[in-house]
Amino acid sequence: MTVQNKVLVVEDEQVIRTALRRLLERHNYSVEEAGSVKEAVEQHNMDDFDIVVSDLRLPGAPGTDLIKATKTPVLIMTSYSSLRSAIDSMKMGAVDYISKPFEHEEMIETVGRIVQESASRKAAQEKPLPPPEPPVYGMIGSCPQMMELFRRIRKVAMTNSTVLINGESGTGKELVARAIHKLSDRNESEMISVNCAAIPENLIESELFGHEKGAFTGATANRTGLVEAASGSTLFLDEIGELPLEAQARLLRVLQENEIRKVGSVQSKKVDVRLVVATHRDLKQLVIDGDFREDLYYRINVMTLIIPPLKERGNDILELADAILDRTCKRLKSPMLKFSSEATQAIASYPWPGNVRELENAIERAVVLAESEIIGEELLAIDTSLKAQLRPLNERTALHHTPPQDDSVEELSLEDYFQHFV
């Protein structure tokens, strides 16, 4: 059964009001009448109608007063078909106007259009908004820098391009690598992660590229390297700046020829590997210093993704803190806790030189030590004197290096701080 749209006709002339009612009813509208603005407001619930059709000139108050009395669209009829009266009505909020005497077809067409447009707007307003585009796999953030990072991750993930991730220690470089892998067409296989700084220099080539039995002392059996194991998937090399020059040459061959040669072997083997690398160091400077191959640098620097430090991420800090607290409570099987206002303020104002990793550690420590449902500032053990401590460190650094710009001095001091004290 077709639902009738409801129309309120407000017209002081009985003949016109009756004629308009009959016209609308013939076109399947449900019609109510009123002879004035006062009668319309007092005798009808204006918001129950789909449209109000009102004369402009009415006894007591003009028809445009109905615009303020309801959210229902108001169509104004006027015998004064001047441009000025039409403009005035529209300025006051009328959805449209129609001149009297009106053509039947024009009235029906205008009413039908307004009702349809109003219904479409209501449906759009009532329809739940689509959820915002979710952050990429395993990552949280809504600041402009992170939204741009997410956009680039999604864009590059569907390609096979090599990706270089740059960011301070603790910013989540491996999370970015995993997000790229999860969004790629290689996600059915596990990503293989390698921390180049964690493998002894004399073993790194064997670990990455494999070796033949007898290739060196202790090589008692053939070994498949991690590059070969990652064939068909993604290989993530963290701290690429720590890779020895000899291993860099072998990695360059993987990128250029898509093949490896095991240590002690004379035969090459084809591999299909998506390479994602990360570093917190300035690779350009390493190239200048002779510690990193220039040709390899340009091979891996196809698409660079820069992760902002936590101190530059604004309200993301509190969003991250809440998410980490929730996750930590579940992992440690602790009752759900929340931060005190003082703890929240401390989290928001602290520079977090150790970035997300330091935030995670502080929250886990607080969860372990908490004796109530509220985590106070003291449980976070935030070192509020850190900024003061960093100043002498800057000065000590300046004694041994050419003074750089202010921003790079701060970055250098933070990095030196963690290398020496954490």
pLDDT digits (tens, 9 = 90+) for 356-394: 999 999 999 999 999 999 999 999 988 766 544 443 333
Domains of the chain by start residue, with CATH: 5-126 (3.40.50.2300), 144-306 (3.40.50.300), 310-380 (1.10.8.60), 386-421 (no CATH)
Dist. CA 316–CA 311, nearest whole Å: 9
Residue 213: band (very low, low, confident or very high) from pLDDT cuts 50, 70, 90: confident
Dist. CA 153–CA 181, nearest whole Å: 10
More confident residue, 414 or 143: 143
| Number of other residues whose CB lies within 10 A of the CB of residue 382 | 18
Write phi, then psi, for 344 (nearest 5 degrees): -60, -45
Strands (E), 102-251: 163-166, 192-195, 234-238
Q: Is there a contact between 356 and 421 (Cβ–Cβ < 8 Å)?
A: no
Instruction: Look up residue 255 and give its amino acid.
Output: L
pLDDT digits (tens, 9 = 90+) for 48-87: 999 999 988 889 998 888 888 888 999 888 875 555 666 6
> Whose CA is closest to 251, among 228, 217, 220, 281?
228
Write phi, then psi, for 235 (nearest 5 degrees): -110, 120
Name the strand (E) or helix (H) holding 141.
Answer: none
Instruction: Please tell me the predicted confidence (pLDDT) of residue 132.
Output: 54
Res 407 pLDDT > 70: no
Dist. CA 47–CA 122, nearest whole Å: 13
Please tell me whether residue 172 adopts helix, strand or coil conformation: coil
Q: What is the mean pLDDT of the chain?
A: 85
Res 183 pLDDT > 80: yes
**3-state DSSP percent of the chain in helix, strand and coil, to 5:** 50, 15, 35
Write phi, then psi, for 306 (nearest 5 degrees): -105, 125
Dist. CA 154–CA 149, nearest whole Å: 9
Instruction: Look up residue 356 and give its amino acid.
Output: V
Dist. CA 384–CA 276, nearest whole Å: 37
Mean pLDDT on 180-200 = 94
Residue 173: band (very low, low, confident or very high) from pLDDT cuts 50, 70, 90: very high
Question: In this structure, what DSSP letter does residue 306 have?
Answer: E
Using the Cα atoms of residue 121, residue 126, residue 129 and residue 130 in order, give the sign of their dihedral. negative
Instruction: Please tell me the predicted confidence (pLDDT) of residue 133.
Output: 56
Instruction: Please tell me the predicted confidence (pLDDT) of residue 252.
Output: 95
Q: Is there a contact between 302 and 162 (Cβ–Cβ < 8 Å)?
A: yes
Mean pLDDT on 119-146 = 75
Which of 18-32, 72-86, 257-271, 344-358 has the weakest average pLDDT?
A: 72-86
